[in-house]
Amino acid sequence: MKKYYLPLALVGLFILLTGASLLGLLTSYIQMVLMLMGINIILTVSLNLVNGYMGEFSVGHAAFMSLGAYTSAFITTRLIPHLLWGEPLFPVGKLLYTFDVAAHIEGPIWYLVFPLTLLAGGAVAALAGLLVAIPSFRVRGDYLAIITLAVNYIVMNFFANLEPLGGSRGITGIPGFTSVPIVLIWTVISLWAIHNFIYSTYGKGVMAIREDEVAAEAMTVDTRRVKVMAFCISSFFAGIGGGLLAHLLLYINPASFSILRSIEPLVMVYLGGMGSISGSILGAIVLTGLIEALRPLRVWKWAVISLILIILMIFRREGIMGGREFWFLKPKREVEYAPASD
């Protein structure tokens, strides 16, 4: 019975939250906060894979979010209306794109389409992860930070100049497919995937790169392959998070995916603790909650949050969890770390 604790708890949580939201027990504001928490968990865990487990310094996470968001929004608002109802694919020249996708949605077929659009967004983002992975073969640390920053700005400017996708006006009228159960499912999927990746052979390679890259290369870790995998998996899930975000906010524009948007998951990673999945979950939940709780402070909200970050770094720089995991997230078999006996 003990090994079913975790799945049962997850199912229970799923039923609880979905039921509460369907029955109207949770206001739509609380539902939005819950969905934001879930999305931030996905973003934080994916960033933690690169920043925490691999020890790199990637500050351009918003680039992959925006790629996922734009791709899935494009499919939902442009591609599918084009295929189904003959709407123009790239409505250039119209100031305001007025086709209301949400009004035309009928039938549960759309709920099968949504995961596919998210996967497509994630795939595009993973492909863009190569833009960061390949430079990482040669540079580390501060220089890689510049490259990730440059990638962030490049993607942001790319979308701002892409008139067929709205340019700097962005995409409006995205149907609101994101709901609490969907976010929960995707959160569990991404946590499960990254958890399994970490405790696989590739994951050990990732941590070996963090500790000593040259030694890892000498000990049969194919650092190039591992880096590409880690960066691409990280950006894949960032793209998923971006797609979910697009269908939650119903509007995206390039300016919202600037460096400020990259800093949010960064703060969550360091708040929760690098190299700890439980830390990412906690960090995401705590910071999202803090952002919402401090909303009455209006513009002082970010001043308080940055002050918290400074104090955190001075007094507890390992974050809340400090690299440790909750009991249910530890790897099952410890014997693989034991020395061989002959």
Partner 1 sequence: MAYILQQAVNALQLGSIYALIALGYNMVYGVLSLVNFAHGDVFMIGAFIAFFASTLLKLSFVPTMLFSMFGCALLGVAIERIAYRPLRRAPKLSVVITALGVGLFMENMVLGIIGPWRKSLPPLLPEHVFNVGEVRISSLQLIIIGVSIALMAILEFIVGKTKQGIAMRAISFDRFTVPLMGVPENQIISLTFAIGSALAAAGALLFSLAYPLIEPTMGMMVGWKAFIAAVLGGIGSVRGAMAGAFLLGLIEIAAGATFPSRLRDLIAFAIVWIILMIRPTGLFGVARREAV
Q: Name the residues that contact partner 1, by CB under 8 A.
A: 57, 131, 134-135, 138-139, 141-143, 145-147, 149-151, 153-154, 157-158, 160-161, 214-215, 259-260, 263, 266, 270, 299-303, 305-307, 309-310, 313-314, 317
Q: Could you give the CA distance from residue 86 to residue 146 in angstroms, rounded to a whole number?
A: 43
Query: Where in the chain does DSSP place strands (E)?
Result: none
Neighbours of 143 (CB within 10 A): 13
Q: Minimal distance in Å, beta carbon 300 to partner 1?
A: 5
Q: Minimal distance in Å, beta carbon 50 to partner 1?
A: 13
Q: Minimal distance in Å, beta carbon 36 to partner 1?
A: 20
**What tokens appear for 221 in the block?**
């870790």
Task: Provide the CA 53 distance to its chain's centre, in angstroms.
Answer: 16
- Give, in order, the Cα–Cα distances in Å from 341 to each of 204, 331, 332, 333: 21, 21, 21, 17
Instruction: Tell me whether residue 45 or residue 151 sits nearer to partner 1 (CB atom).
Output: 151
Q: Which residues have a Cβ under 8 Å from the Cβ of 96 and sit 6 or more positions away?
A: 172
In angstroms and rounded to an integer, the radius of gyration of the C-alpha atoms of the chain is 21
Q: Minimal distance in Å, beta carbon 160 to partner 1?
A: 8
Backbone angles phi, psi at 205, to 5 degrees: -65, -40
Q: Minimal distance in Å, beta carbon 154 to partner 1?
A: 5
Instruction: Tell me whether residue 131 or residue 232 sits nearer to partner 1 (CB atom).
Output: 131
Instruction: Tell me whether residue 99 or residue 153 sits nearer to partner 1 (CB atom).
Output: 153
Do 31 and 16 meet the contact criterion of CB atoms below 8 Å apart? Answer: no
Instruction: Tell me whether residue 185 or residue 309 sits nearer to partner 1 (CB atom).
Output: 309
Instruction: Tell me whether residue 35 or residue 274 sits nearer to partner 1 (CB atom).
Output: 274
